[in-house]
């Protein structure tokens, strides 16, 4: 048995990762912040397909809640093999219209939340000298999009955090990588007008948006023993957008 924690797993990319990891044999801890119904839906899908897991409601931007979550998971399963740091938010706005509340929210969740979860999980993984941490970054961490000064900064931080943590944890048998999606069919894309979608698609060589399974397939691969010599990498999945 292998145990995975997926943060922000009630919807979007996190949901796809949780379901795909369960199908690959992981016992999956579905972390979520607010939507009980959506989180239960993910767990039900996993169980209907023969998998197993548990729900854990916690705000990963709150260090005390993260510590309690990791402790509970470890006490329950006696191991944590994989962390997928996925919970995050996007608050697009130009710098001159910057809202301090949005700035704080983005850094608290997109950066501090990743640090908190990685620290607590790494402490458990180090005991076995084995484990994998996968951080969900974004093409915006390296590719500039107007209105994303804050979001891009948080994802740039995630990229460098990934590289540095990989160096720190390598001797302890812990691999750390990041996945950097481009435009993925999630709630954010659904809110765009048809005109805006067409505009974005023109800049994607593959002429389609990605989907959750595209990301989840890579997460499962990176977590597997077949990728045991890959660490400290930021792997972009954007259909060629950033070329």
Q: Determine the angle formed by the axes of helices 36-48 and 12-23, rounding to 10 degrees.
A: 20
Nearest to 233 by CA among 171, 156, 192, 176: 176
CA–CA separation, 107 and 184 (whole Å): 22
> Does the annotation mark 229 as catalytic?
no
Identify the residue whose tokens are 């048995």.
1
CA distance linking residue 202 with residue 122, whole number of Å: 41
Helix axes 212-223, 12-23, angle to 10 degrees: 50
What is the three-state SS of 59-92? CCCCHHHHHHHHHHHHHHHCCCCEEEECCCCCCC
Catalytic residue chosen out of the listed positions 32, 77, 151, 229: 151
153-168 b/e with 16+ CB inside 10 Å = b? bbbbbbbebbbebbee
Cβ atoms of 143 and 242 closer than 8 Å: yes
**Edge-to-edge, what's the strand order for the sheet holding 82-85?**
52-57, 26-32, 2-6, 82-85, 131-136, 174-181, 234-237
Name every residue whose Cβ is closer than 8 Å to that of residue 82 and which is 6 or more positions away in sequence: 2, 3, 4, 5, 21, 26, 131, 132, 133, 134, 223
Active-site residues, by number, are 151
């Amino acid at each position: 048995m292998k145990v995975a924690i997926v943060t922000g797993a009630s919807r979007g990319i996190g949901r796809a990762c949780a379901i795909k990891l369960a199908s690959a044999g992981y016992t999956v801890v579905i972390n979520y912040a607010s939507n009980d119904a959506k989180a239960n839906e993910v767990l039900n899908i996993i169980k209907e397909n023969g998998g197993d897991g548990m729900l854990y409601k916690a705000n990963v931007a709150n260090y005390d809640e993260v510590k309690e979550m990791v402790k509970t998971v470890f006490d329950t399963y006696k191991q944590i093999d994989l962390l997928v740091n996925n919970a995050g938010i996007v608050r697009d706005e130009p710098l001159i219209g910057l809202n301090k509340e949005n700035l704080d929210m983005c850094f608290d969740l997109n950066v501090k939340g990743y640090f908190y979860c990685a620290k607590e999980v790494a402490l458990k993984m180090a005991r076995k000298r084995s484990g994998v941490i996968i951080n969900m970054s974004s093409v915006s961490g390296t590719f500039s999009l107007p209105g994303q000064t804050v979001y891009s900064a948080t994802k740039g931080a995630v990229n460098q955090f990934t590289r540095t943590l990989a160096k720190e944890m390598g001797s302890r048998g812990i691999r750390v990588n990041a996945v950097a999606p481009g435009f993925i069919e999630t709630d954010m894309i659904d809110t765009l007008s048809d005109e805006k979608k067409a505009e974005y698609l023109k800049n994607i060589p593959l002429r389609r948006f990605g989907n959750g399974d595209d990301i989840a397939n890579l997460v499962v691969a990176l977590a597997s023993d077949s990728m045991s010599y890959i660490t400290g990498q930021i792997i972009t999945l954007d259909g060629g957008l950033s070329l």
